Amino acid sequence: MPTSALTMHLSFLSAVGMLGLANAVSVAVIPPYPVNGTSAVQFALDGPFDAPKTDFFNQSTFQWWYFDALSEDLKQSIVFTFYANTAAASGVVGSPFNGLTLNLQLANGSMPEFAVPSEAILMATVGEGLSAIMNGTGYSWYESSDLSFVYIDINDKFNNITGSFQIASGAPHHAMCGPATEGASLLVIDGLGWANSIPDGTALIDLNVNGEKFKFKGVGYHDSNWGVQASSSSESAMWYWGHARVGPYSIVWSDVLDIAASKEFQSGYVAKHGEIISDSCGNITVRPTGQNSTWPPIPGQQPSGFHIVYDMGGNGVLDVNITNSETISYEPLAYSRWVGSTVGGIQGQDMYKGVALYEWEGG
């Protein structure tokens, strides 16, 4: 592990210690089984942005840290999800408590998927950033204290995958409906939280997958979700979520429909040249397009793309169309994840092109 996150991590921690800044560091161990008791779960920003949002994980509390990247020709993509309490997070009974999944879209069109159970997760929060070792898996990550950089180190002996994944952020982190200030809401829907630490960035992927090179430079993204399973109305909700680039704009959306309550919760984010130009709730509408695009969606229907309209007040109306290029993950009636191309911009101004990675989740 020459450039492993662990090595960087330990040398960083000892450097911090020598500088007498040890109070900026907090360390946590998430055991590979639930802890009995009532967890204190955070849905408003209180402390380090990317830190675990519960004091411990009981049978029903969960969190995952998600990282993705796609190539600008839409032919390659990669998605990592690192889970604490996989069963509560995914609803898949019998899952290992801690674990990770890795989805690849290879240039030849095949889409291998890997799942690796983990022992304890060792975590250290420094500044706003979180670094972690998924013990016993060969996966670990290091994130800088200002969220400008993240590095995943892979030495996976089970699947014979080695190499690295990194993102240099190009767009500031944000809360659900505005800037990431103390106390800002991180609540997507009752029982589900969201912290978007890297809305857009330049990604470098350099892996060796069972002897084959998997290497590209593209667009990267990182966020985290957490929640309490039993109380979550996400059970009866469906959502559209995704991130895109179109010309100079970095865009992140989430448009959630609570089906039981018939209520829609929308969150939009746009940055340009590394500055947030709009970040709000209630002003962005995401709708499926093409032949099979009923809304609310009928499970099983596959639209051919999405139309996003975001009223940014004084900054104009962002209007973007996305056309699916490839379905990169699919669970019948429950979930689709795509990569696609974008066209759009601010109405009345220059129009641009770009790429996107996005999903529909049926709850």
What are the residues binding ligand NAG (CB under 6 A)?
A: 29, 36, 38-39, 41, 58-61, 106, 108-110, 119-120, 135, 160, 208, 210-212, 228, 231, 280, 282-283, 289, 291-292, 300-302, 307, 319, 321, 343-344
The DSSP output letter for 203 is E
- Edge-to-edge strand list for the sheet holding 335-346: 275-281, 263-272, 249-258, 237-246, 351-361, 335-346, 317-331, 305-311, 284-289
In the complex, minimum distance from the CB of residue 140 to ligand NAG, in angstroms, rounded to a whole number: 11
Residue number, 283 or 327, with CB nearest to ligand NAG = 283
Q: Are the CB atoms for 30 and 120 separated by under 8 Å?
A: yes
Give the separation between CA 216 and CA 228, rounded to whole angstroms.
Answer: 37
Residue number, 2 or 211, with CB nearest to ligand NAG = 211
Residue number, 146 or 206, with CB nearest to ligand NAG = 206
Residue number, 147 or 346, with CB nearest to ligand NAG = 346
In the complex, minimum distance from the CB of residue 301 to ligand NAG, in angstroms, rounded to a whole number: 4
From first CA to last CA, the distance across the chain in angstroms is 39
In the complex, minimum distance from the CB of residue 34 to ligand NAG, in angstroms, rounded to a whole number: 7
Find the helix or strand (DSSP H, E) in which 259 lies: none
In the complex, minimum distance from the CB of residue 313 to ligand NAG, in angstroms, rounded to a whole number: 6
Q: Which residues contact 200 (CB under 8 A, 6 or more apart)?
A: 169, 170, 171, 219, 220, 221, 243, 245, 250, 252, 271
């670094």: which residue's tokens?
131
């997070």: which residue's tokens?
89
In the complex, minimum distance from the CB of residue 42 to ligand NAG, in angstroms, rounded to a whole number: 10
In the complex, minimum distance from the CB of residue 148 to ligand NAG, in angstroms, rounded to a whole number: 26
Give the separation between CA 86 and CA 63, rounded to whole angstroms.
Answer: 8
Residue number, 3 or 231, with CB nearest to ligand NAG = 231
Residue nearest to ligand NAG (CB): 282
Residue number, 117 or 127, with CB nearest to ligand NAG = 117
Joined together, the tokens standing for residue 362 give 């049926």
